[in-house]
Structure 1
Amino acid sequence: MEYNGKHYEIKIWQGELLNSVIAIDTETTYGSFTETPDLVTFQAFDGVSPIYVRNTDVLDFLKLHKKHTWLFANASFDLDVLEKAVGWNFYEQIDNNGVYDVLIMYCLYHLATMGSVPFQYSLAKITHQFFGIELSKDNEIRTRFDQFQNQKIEEIPKEFLEYGAKDVIATYEAFIKLNKLINELGSASCLSHQIQLAGSIALNRVYKNGIGFDHESSKEYLNNIYKEMEICQDILATYGWARGVKGAKDLFNQVIVNEELTNLPLTSEGDFSSKEEDLKHYKNNRFIKTYLKYIGLEKSTTFIRELTGNRVHPRYNVIRNTGRTSCSKPNFQQLPREGGIRNLFKAKKGHTFIITDYSSIELSTLAQTVYDRYGSSIMREKINSGADLHKYYASVLFNVSEESVVKWQRQAAKAANFGFPGGLGIETFIKFAKGYDIELTYDEASNMKKTWFNAFPEMKEYLQGEVGHVWTRSGRLRANTTFCAEKNTPFQGMAADGAKVALWNLTKAGFTIVGFVHDEIICEVPLNEVEFKKKQMEKIMIDSMQIVVPDVKIAVESTISERYCK
């Protein structure tokens, strides 16, 4: 077989020990992505020859090479296939840093050099970018391996064997290249690869587990929403505005003029803003109130109107620019709190949800970040003493005792504690605070920031300067950062890393995780095991986060419910 100007002989494994670094790939049956497929072929490459391993010998191969370094392109897929095929438990190898995924390495390297995680990536793209090789992904071959499920390797056509062999060679060469490039950046943790790998495996299990969905109730829910939308449409029509008609933007502008709401901000095109954050200050106006309600109802339908069946399987992406995850089909991480949509997701019969979230986790990771840099932190001291940070800052801001702080004062402090750490300027913070129903003048916002620095003096130093890139505590690098991204990434990324460690450790402990929302993990457990599982889950989540946040107290809160309700 010819590949990249070299000749390779495809061999069948005869029990020999391979070199210490081995690329592994599997070809499988083709079916639903929510089910782990059956193994058809297993191929490996150690830098010498591509080797096929008979299915009856796969377990022996894995045992012989368990202390070797294994390389994959999509490890979460292949490892699940191997676990199903031969019962191989790979947890120890993950924990010992013995498994690498070149797709994750590529994402982390792209983030470290370009400042973003690529929207699309694949082994074929990596191979083309680094080596100028077009790696065939012919569906006529890729999706037809299942026809050879019970055949001997010697009987599989040459073009299919070469397809698998080229993939495993490409995986090996991609690792060698990426490992060299990442080492040159100076990261001792391969840019946090192990955490992302563990997170990707756990999130793949979450995807396959899915979460129960009350499809019958969703039909009734949607019908009620559509009825409310029709009522809103009728009201809006009396003002001369309708959704989806030609010139709708001009009609909106005219209504704003007629209603004497011309203080609304203008867009770059000169139209009146239709953003919720701008319109909500005019909610006393009937048109605006109805318009916002209509847009909100319309948005709420997008999350569930295409869902079918009694179990849905949101897809998770393990790494975005900040280090956080993302979700799609549906975006479970962005479900509206209002309107009852969350209540449509339910535990299966005889089970319930344990919904556990970290308490103000990004303040804890912020405190760890500044403590690492400067050796001290008032924020860390307050958290570790059990203080309510929002009450503490409110007491400083309004010059009252913490016991005397009232709800609106704490809300104002909350806006500051969550807004200022990311480097928000005064004008931006004024807009940000409106999301907490706090209206501020420029002078009031300026005073809040000054007082915030007095309450947490370490933050003034933290928010000074800009270098255009930033490292996280776990060794991940983000290049080409803006000022706000440079300040946000260390503590947002730390919280995300800790949550991924928790997902991994819960997976190893046998929990059925059915949902993940940044700082919140949802597990489905039998009703007769709730109390024990709740304590176990909380301990695992706290201990996992403390791995990346060792000097700041971590707390969690749990809710037990047969419906998703947080």
Structure 2
Amino acid sequence: MTRIPSLALRLIQTPKDLEAALPLLARERLVGLDLETTGLDPHQDRIRLLSLALPQAGEVLLVDLFRLPGALEGIRPFLEAGEGALLVGHNLAFDLGFLMARGLFPSGRRLWDTGLAQQVLRALPRMPALKDLLPVDKSLQVSDWGGELSQRQLEYAARDAVAVLVLYKEQIAEARERNLVRALALEMRALPAVAWMRVMGVPFDPKAWSLQMEEALAEAERALKRLARFEDGLFQGSLNWNSPKQALEALRRHGIAVSGTREEDLAPYRHHPLVEALLDYREAQKRVSAFGERWLEHLHPKTGRIHPEWKQIGAETGRMACARPNLQQVPRDATRRAFRAPEGRVLVKADYSQIELRLAAALAPDSVMAEAFRKGEDLHTLTASRVLGKPGEAVTREDRQLAKALNFGLIYGMGAESLRQYALTGYGVALSPEEASRLREAFFQLYPGLRAWHRRTPQGEVEVETLMGRKRRTSRFTEKLNTPVQGSGADGLKLALGLLYERRHEVPGAFPVLAVHDEVVVEAPAERADEALAWVRGVMVEAMERVMARAPLPVPVEVEAGVYRDWGFTPWEPSR
């Protein structure tokens, strides 16, 4: 079992105590950092203790911020310096949130989060607790940190700050051995940006939200009235369309021979008026249940904004996740009007254009797809034109929908039958088994580099990695293909967030509020809208190009960006 050493405790409660301790910080190469707070909310709760473990000095500084509230200003130069000791902690996004809410912004190049590091080392979608990695007693974590501090509380606070240093040494040794240092450095650079995003929060208009929910309820009612025409006295006139069993009977009664009522079961009949009304009803009901009035509970009483829990690593691929609430699930429709910038401010929304296809072309490599991107061609039009044997100018909207199903479905090795289901449920394109097989073959003839990539993928369990060196073991064929692509996309997005944080002084008053898959949204002062637009677009292109440069065949990166009053729904126009 790993042994956690004991260091002497030095309680800092007076200016003189702090003045005597500050010179010790400059001599350290590693410093363990931990906060004890009166609660979990950086905007309403207080920091009681700042613990700094100094292994060279053999001491842990315990700075009592109740007794010495100005101590953070004295420690600011040490925390914010671009160079100096590596600051090591566990789940540092929590600690950084409290520090940032008080105006302190540590450098991402001097951070090491042992929780994030463990996720990278083990390809974990969730951060393990410190007590799951080391023998630490967390029973005092929820004790009263607002009153008189006991000796046990002081020892507890010190032990957490020391424990992370032990874990860091184990982690960095393994990272060097397994060539994961680059991937870890990337996560640590992104860490303060993610904490910054969380503490700043997302602008939200509760009145606009309520109006959207009222409209969803009205849509559900209108759909129910359309469904009423098909009830025909079933279930004594009290047919419940929310019941799959009753809905199935009604569908069959009207000659719709389906085995179930899932969306994929209904997709072949989506143009039948009964199925169309049922799908519309379910969509409206989903909006109400998933994005109803309960979302207003997430509105912060002090800031008037939503402060979701961003999970920097929320999947084995390295992609981010979001919770309480999950903003990554908000549909791309009028619902986003409620995420509205305050008066005098704007939202800059920027998306990586077709980044998974670009990364697949770069990784495979596939010279045909890469050349299309270099020429600025529309890849969906190109695919449709070639597989259907028609000139590009003759490609219809329906043809492009088919091409999207081929492009996005087949890059990860989808079979003909899976392609049929994917095309139908995702794009409304019905294919016979023969058509699916023929189109699949035509696709891989068009893009032979993709076929070669799929064929040389080894069988059995293997270790795959992203362009930045993030690793994952898997035996599933699709994961062997999508992990390098989606993981590299996540790496590029995180590097962009890190660069935005490091260059935050270039556009004063601007900060990221959302990171959703391949999209970043930044809030900025309206008078700096053009600056912010160029800043965000430039940083995102630069970051992904750095990642893409490590691929066998680099492909151009394109970012589509605009300035809006809300989350990409209402364009912003400067006042004349």
Corresponding residue of 1:300: 287
Q: Tell me the equivalent position of 1:21.
A: 30
More off after superposition, 341-350 vs 532-541: 532-541
2:119 — aligned with what?
A: 107
Structure 2 equivalent of residue 359 of structure 1? 353
- Counterpart of 1:383, as a letter, is F
2:399 to 396, 409, 427: 409
CA deviation string 1:466-489 (max 9, x = no partner): 343311111111112410011011
Q: Name 2:125's counterpart in structure 1.
A: 117
Deviations 1:119-178 (A, max 9, x none): x62112222xxxxx252243442xx33446xxxxxxx42111111111112212222233
Partner of 1:52: helix, strand, or coil?
A: strand
Q: CA deviation at 1:205?
A: 1.8
2:176 corresponds to 1:173? no
Distance change >3 Å, CA 300–CA 108, structure 1 → 2: same
Residues of 2 paired with 1:396 and 1:36: CA distance? Answer: 61
8 Å contact from structure 2 (residues 7, 60) kept in 1: no
Paired residue secondary structure (2:431): coil
Q: CA separation of 1:65/1:397 partners in 2, compared to 1, >3 Å: closer, same or farther?
A: closer
State which of 485, 489, 494 in structure 1 corresponds to 2:488: 494
1:254-265 maps to which residues of 2 (within 5 A)?
Answer: 254-262=249-257, 264=258
| Match of residue 564 from structure 1 | 567
1:476 aligns with 2:470: yes
CA distance in 1, matches of 2:101, 2:335: 35
* Partner of residue 547, structure 1: 546
Pair 64,297 (structure 1): closer, same or farther in 2 beyond 3 Å: closer
Following TM superposition, by how much is the alpha carbon of 1:22 offset from its aligned partner in structure 2, in angstroms?
Answer: 2.8
Measured after TM superposition, the shift of residue 286 of structure 1 is 4.1
Distance change in 2, residues 1:471/1:42 (3 Å): same
Shift of 1:549: 1.2
Aligned 8 A contact 1:21 1:71 in 2:
yes
Note the C-alpha offset of 1:72: 1.2
Q: Determine the structure 1 residue equivalent to 2:511.
A: 512
Answer whether contact 1:189 1:474 (CA < 8 A) is retained: no
Range moving further from structure 2, 541-550 or 407-416: 407-416
Give 1:29 shift.
4.1
Q: Measure how far apart 1:346 and its partner are.
A: 0.7
Do 1:39 and 1:81's aligned partners in 2 also have CA atoms closer than 8 Å?
A: no
Instruction: State the TM-score, normalized to the length of structure 1.
Output: 0.84
Equivalent AA in structure 2 for residue 487 of structure 1: L
Which residue number corresponds to residue 537 of structure 1? 536
Q: Which amino acid aligns with 2:321?
A: S
| 1:138 has 2:140 as partner | yes
Report the more deviating stretch, 22-31 or 321-330: 22-31
Q: Aligned-pair distance for 1:491?
A: 1.1
- Out of 189, 210, 214, the position equivalent to 1:198 is 189
Contact 1:347 1:562 in 2 (8 A): yes
| 1:182/1:273 CA distance change after superposition, 3 Å | farther
Equivalent residue number for residue 315 of structure 1: 309
Q: Distance in 1 between matches of 2:384 and 2:363?
A: 23
Quote the residue 1:90 is aligned against: 106
Query: 1:515·1:523 contact (CA, 8 Å) conserved in 2?
Result: yes
CA–CA distance in structure 2, aligned partners of residues 370 and 479 of structure 1:
19
Q: Distance in 2 between matches of 1:413 and 1:401?
A: 14
- Which residue of structure 1 aligns with residue 87 of structure 2? 70
Query: Given the alignment, which residue of 190, 207, 222 partners 2:213?
Result: 222
1:194 Cα shift?
Answer: 2.2
Q: Aligned pair in 2 of structure 1 residues 335, 403: CA closer, same or farther (>3 Å)?
A: same
CA contact (8 A) 1:71 1:172 kept: yes
Counterpart code for 1:167: D
The aligned residue for residue 521 of structure 1 is: 520
3-state SS of the aligned residue for 1:384? helix
Report if aligned partners of 2:38, 2:145 keep a CA contact under 8 Å in 1. yes
One of 181, 185, 188 as aligned partner of 1:189:
181
Q: Which string of whole-angstrom CA distances, capped at 9 and with x for unpartnered residues, describes residues 223-268 of structure 1?
A: 3433443454564565443166xxx443234323322323x2xxxx
Measure the CA separation in 2 of the matches of 1:219 and 1:65.
45
- How many corresponding residue pairs? 522
Measure, in 2, the Cα distance between the counterparts of 1:21 and 1:5.
16
Residue segments in structure 2 that go unaligned for 5+ positions in a row: 12-19, 505-509, 570-576
- Whether the 8 Å contact between 1:38 and 1:84 is mirrored in structure 2 is no
The partner residue of 1:212 within 192, 203, 218 is 203
AA partner of residue 282 (structure 1):
Y
* Range that drifts further, 379-388 or 420-429: 379-388
Q: 1:391 to 1:19 in 2, by over 3 A?
A: same
* Cα offsets for 1:493-520 (capped at 9, x unmatched): 1111111111222233333212222111
1:281 to 259, 264, 268: 268
- Distance in 2 (CA, whole Å) between partners of 1:210 and 1:189 is 31
Q: Which residue of 1 aligns with 2:507?
A: none
Letter in 1 for 2:60: I
Matches within 5 A, 1:45-56: 45-46=54-55, 49-54=58-63, 56=71
Aligned to 1:130: none
1:44 to 48, 53, 70: 53
Name 2:420's counterpart in structure 1.
430
Amino acid at match of 2:86: T
Secondary structure in 1 matching 2:364 = helix
Does the CA contact (< 8 Å) of 2:244 and 2:261 recur in 1?
no
Corresponding position of 2:156:
163
Structure 1 residues 5 and 436: alpha-carbon distance in aligned structure 2, compared to 1, 3 A threshold: closer
Q: In the alignment, residue 419 of structure 1 is paired with which amino acid? A: G
2-structure distance, mates of 1:350, 1:7: 53
Q: Distance in 1 between matches of 2:244 and 2:435?
A: 35
Give the structure 1 partner of residue 16 of structure 2. Answer: none
SS at match of 1:10: strand
- Residues 241-252 of structure 1: pairs in structure 2 closer than 5 A: 241-242=239-240, 248-252=243-247
State, as a whole percentage, how many aligned pairs show the same letter.
Answer: 24
1:458 aligns with 2:452: no
SS at match of 2:133: helix
Matched, 1:369 2:386: no
Unaligned stretches of 5+ residues in structure 1: 128-132, 149-155, 265-271
Aligned equivalents of 2:45 and 2:369: distance in 1?
A: 46
User: Offset of 1:388 from its aligned partner?
Assistant: 1.9
Q: Structure 1 residues 200, 287: CA separation in 2 closer, same or farther (over 3 Å shift)?
A: farther
Give the Cα separation in 1 of the matches to 2:284 and 2:78.
56
Question: Displacement of 1:181 after TM fit?
Answer: 3.6
Alignment correspondent of 1:329: 324
* Separation (CA, whole Å) in 2 of partners of 1:377 and 1:443: 28
Offset from partner CA, 1:502-548 (integer Å, 9 cap, x none):
12222333332122221111112222222222122211111111110
